[in-house]
Structure 1
Amino acid sequence: MTIDKRDRPGRVGQRGTTAGAPRSGGRTTERRDNTARRYATQGSAALQEPASVQEPVRFRDTATEETVPRLRVAPPAPVAVPRAPFIAMILVVVVGGVLGVLLVNTKINENAIRLGTLQQEQSHLDLKEQQLKKEIAQHEAPNNLAAQARKLGLVESGPPAFIRLPDGRVIGVPQPATGEPSITSPQG
């Protein structure tokens, strides 16, 4: 619907009207009456049906000359949130969290006990390693080696002779060992 600027009511000096029309082409103040003010337009009251309304207010469309029912804002549909699934979900989350914390604490305590046991075993093995190293050092002592050799029937030899490999020359005089085997040796 188009309205020519010359024919638009609501300007002073045009067609004898002094009431202002909105620029959007909506209702003019001439059409406003007491029945149009029955509906609240601000706040939560706009969503409620007034108690005094018996029939819907109808306005005339000037272009087609027919009555059009007044449109109004419908209240939003009530949102029915199912509470049982929400409560069940919250319970599952809380119980799952508590069980998760309990499981983590149990594993931490179990690992702490295992760590204590392993540390005791490690200290025991360290002591055993020290004892074995001490025994090896005692067996590697020169006097102990000579005693063990005599027990096996070995005798002391004289000065050794060496063979130089590049030319095959023998340095020193090789002599067989001339000692008596020990009494505890298998040969004696």
Structure 2
Amino acid sequence: MNVDKRDRSGQVGQRSARAGAPRSGGRTAARRTTSTGGYATQGSAALQEQPMTADQVRVRDTAAPAGPPQLRVAPPAPVAVPRAPFIAMILVVVVGGVLGVLLVNTKINENAIRIGTLQQQQSSLDVQEQQLKKEIAQYEAPNNLAAQARKLGLVESGPPAFIRLPDGRVIGVPQPATGEPAITSPQGAGE
């Protein structure tokens, strides 16, 4: 596909002087990196004067007639920031952070030791509780209850009598218990 390029003057095949310029109107890369009047326009070299060669001096002297001076962007003024307060603040933050982490780790370790001790106490109390439940179950057995009652001097009674509360009527005949107290009881020992 061959397309003739025409500039505004109507000439075919020749590019105008503006044809090399970008459409955005900005500077090209070649123009950005060149120095004007012996001074760099970008970077840290913009603050330093660069020596000119003899060719640059001749081109500069034979350049366009003296007219209004060309404007250049001046480098920004150096900013003097006090560094000592900033460094002190950073040190305080770092030291505070390290101390905070140490404090948290110390508390975690203390709590871990305390938890271990409490778990050991809990396990020993669980064992003791199991032993006490076993003893209670042995004492609650019917044979053991009867033996303990005989040791205390209690005897078996006959059929019981009941009192009905609403009217006070006695159902059955109450009788005293008849039986010999055990030899080991205080009544059976003759006291």
- Candidates 7, 30, 34, aligned match of 2:66: 34
Partner of 2:182: 182
Identity rate, percent? 85
- Candidates 14, 26, 47, aligned match of 2:74: 47
| Structure with the higher helix share, 1 or 2 | 2
Aligned alpha-carbon RMSD (Å): 1.6
Alignment partners' CA distance in 2, 1:129 and 1:113: 24
Alignment partners' CA distance in 1, 2:138 and 2:186: 24
Alignment partners' CA distance in 2, 1:91 and 1:153: 85
Q: Which amino acid aligns with 1:187?
A: Q
Q: Which amino acid aligns with 1:139?
A: Y
Q: Which runs of 5+ in 1 are unaligned?
A: 1-32, 41-45, 49-74
1:86-105 correspondence runs (5 A)? 86-105=86-105
- Structure 1 residue 38, shift from structure 2 partner: 4.3
Alignment partners' CA distance in 1, 2:110 and 2:152: 54
1:137-152 correspondence runs (5 A)? 137-152=137-152
SS at match of 2:129: helix
The list of structure 1 runs, each at least 4 consecutive aligned residues, that deviate by more than 4 angstroms after superposition, is none
1:73-88 correspondence runs (5 A)? 76=77, 78-88=78-88
Using the size of structure 1 for normalisation, the TM-score is 0.61
Alignment partners' CA distance in 2, 1:35 and 1:154: 138
| Structure with the higher strand share, 1 or 2 | 1
Alignment partners' CA distance in 1, 2:151 and 2:184: 5
1:105-124 correspondence runs (5 A)? 105-124=105-124
Partner of 1:51: none
Aligned length: 124
Alignment partners' CA distance in 2, 1:163 and 1:121: 52
- Structure 1 residue 35, shift from structure 2 partner: 4.9
Q: Which runs of 5+ in 2 are unaligned?
A: 1-64
Using the size of structure 2 for normalisation, the TM-score is 0.61
Partner of 1:168: 168
